[in-house]
Structure 1
Amino acid sequence: MRNIVLVSHGDMAAGVKSSLEMIVGKQEHVSVVSLREDGDNIQFENDLKEKMKALNTPVLIIADLLGGTPCNVAFKNYAENEQVDIIAGLSLPLVIEATLNDSATIKDLLGTAKTGIADVKGKVVETETSKAEIDLEKYAEFKGKANVVNVRIDERLIHGQVAGIWSTSLNTQRIVVINDEASQDSLQKSSLRMAAPSTMRLSVLTVEEAAKNVESGKYGNQRIFLLFKNPTDVLRYVEAGGTLKTVNVGNMSHKEGSREVTKSIQVTKDEEVVFENLITKGIEITAQLVPNDPSINFIEKMRR
């Protein structure tokens, strides 16, 4: 695994690392060197050399600004070192990709950085997917055989952990967001399309539509990631005929009357009842924020 060193004027590099670890968990191979407000090029050069001495190669240095002191000092000292690559244009999407995809080339990483820049309002103005009825009979051979690679409850739906980590690590081909409100909200649907990886298909469906489509085999052998906003929708999905074996609880935020089960999961008494109901249907409930975290038995944790 290559080491990554983020370098910047002031606290930008430290802030990016903090945001990175909020999304993907602790990353010991990502380091930070800053040009302090009261420092200069000599201070920065000494700190960078000290940091680099402690690291095994290969190393990727990501600088905040092309032509800035951090970038220039890095280039001056490591231009001739074939085990050190240097990129300018520090951004969170770039660092996430570099961290999670050790095989990504410099060209790949630059492409990620470019696609992370978008006119958000302009992109939201997208044509709604046609709602024409689809003949499900032609998918009959896949009926009841959906290739579901993960089922997750995440109140934020598609965000960094889902789009950047879970879906990519599972080689997902289609994300199915299952929530009645989201399926009827054109603005939210557009936002979800923007948040989803461009390499994956996306469906935003009501609970009833999702159960019908998945069980009918509409998506064939596609690797499907089912994403729910709350446990009540999961229960409704099962009651509508959907088949589930395991559900991973990721993020459920604080609500009035809720209590903490894990740092990222808060449940109300009503939600506890729903989870207990799911267990009676033979569904295993786990808690796991990101793939590198251990998977725990959520029900046992909740009952304590």
Structure 2
Amino acid sequence: MKYLILVSHGKFAEGIKTSLEMFAGDSTKQCFALCLHNGESATDFETKVDRFLQEQQFKKNDEFVILADIIGGSPLTTFLDSFSKKGNLEKAVVLGGMNFSMALTAIVSLSIMSKEELAKAALSEGEKAIKQYKISQLTDDEDDI
């Protein structure tokens, strides 16, 4: 089975998971959010991650897509250290710069794509979602329509 793990500072990952539940429903049972909350130390977060990994008891053949807010940030590096100790890192792809489009693409594609294909699709959709919204200015003639 494949799993999506969201990792972030603050409540960002929890917020994305909540939004995913609106779009993907039952698929989010394969999605987890781990957050380093304000006021928590890296040691506190490491304890939280270790407890999470112990509770989940992932299987040998499970694969993982990990989305993080920032590559190199302490939530991700702490998570990956614990994850690696459990022997799971080689079964994962890790992406940074998480946004909702990436997460949505990942969750709806978990069962139909390899983790490598999924990573490529999530990155592509994440990039496409980043743009400026242009507000068009109405002319005086258009105001009368």
TM-score, length-normalised on structure 2?
Answer: 0.74
Q: State the one-letter code of the partner of 1:87.
A: L
Which structure's relative contact order is higher, taking Cα pairs within 8 Å and 6+ residues apart? 2
Q: Which residue of 1 aligns with 2:18?
A: 18
**Unpaired runs of at least 5, structure 1:** 126-304
**Percent of aligned pairs with the same residue?**
24
Is 1:86 aligned to 2:94, yes or no?
yes
C-alpha deviation, 1:115, in angstroms: 0.8
| Post-superposition offset of 1:63 | 1.1
Contact 1:64/1:88 (8 A) holds in 2:
yes
1:11 is displaced (CA, Å) by 0.9
Q: For residues 17 and 10 of structure 2, what CA distance do their matches in structure 1 show? A: 13
CA distance in 2, matches of 1:52, 1:110: 26
| RMSD of equivalent CA atoms | 2.4
Give the 4+ runs in structure 1 shifted more than 4 A. none
Supply the distance in 2 between the matched residues of 1:105 and 1:60 (Cα, whole angstroms). Answer: 8
2:120 corresponds to which of 107, 115, 118: 107
Kindly indicate whether residue 72 of structure 2 is the aligned counterpart of residue 67 of structure 1: yes
SS of the residue corresponding to residue 15 of structure 2 reads helix
The answer to whether the Cα contact below 8 Å between 1:3 and 1:59 also exists between their aligned partners in 2 is yes
Counterpart selection for 2:132 from 99, 103, 119: 119
TM-superposition CA deviations, 1:117-161 (whole Å, max 9, x none)? 112218x79xxxxxxxxxxxxxxxxxxxxxxxxxxxxxxxxxxxx
The structure whose Rg is larger is 1
- Following superposition, the deviation at residue 17 of structure 1 comes to 0.7
1:43 & 1:60 partners in 2: Cα distance? 23
Structure 1 residues 1-304: aligned runs within 5 Å = 1-26=1-26, 27-53=28-54, 54=56, 55-56=58-59, 57-78=62-83, 81-102=89-110, 103=113, 104-121=117-134
What is the rounded CA distance, in whole Å, between the counterparts of 1:75 and 1:88 in structure 2?
13
Q: What code does the residue aligned with 2:133 have?
A: V
Q: Residue 38 of structure 1: SS of its match in structure 2?
A: coil
Post-superposition offset of 1:7: 1.1
CA distance 1:50–1:84, change in 2 (3 Å): farther
Deviations 1:142-194 (A, max 9, x none): xxxxxxxxxxxxxxxxxxxxxxxxxxxxxxxxxxxxxxxxxxxxxxxxxxxxx
SS across alignment from 1:108:
helix
Q: Which has the higher strand share?
A: 1
| Paired residues of 2:106 and 2:119 also in contact (CA < 8 A) | no
- The amino acid of 2:16's aligned partner reads V
More helix by share: 2
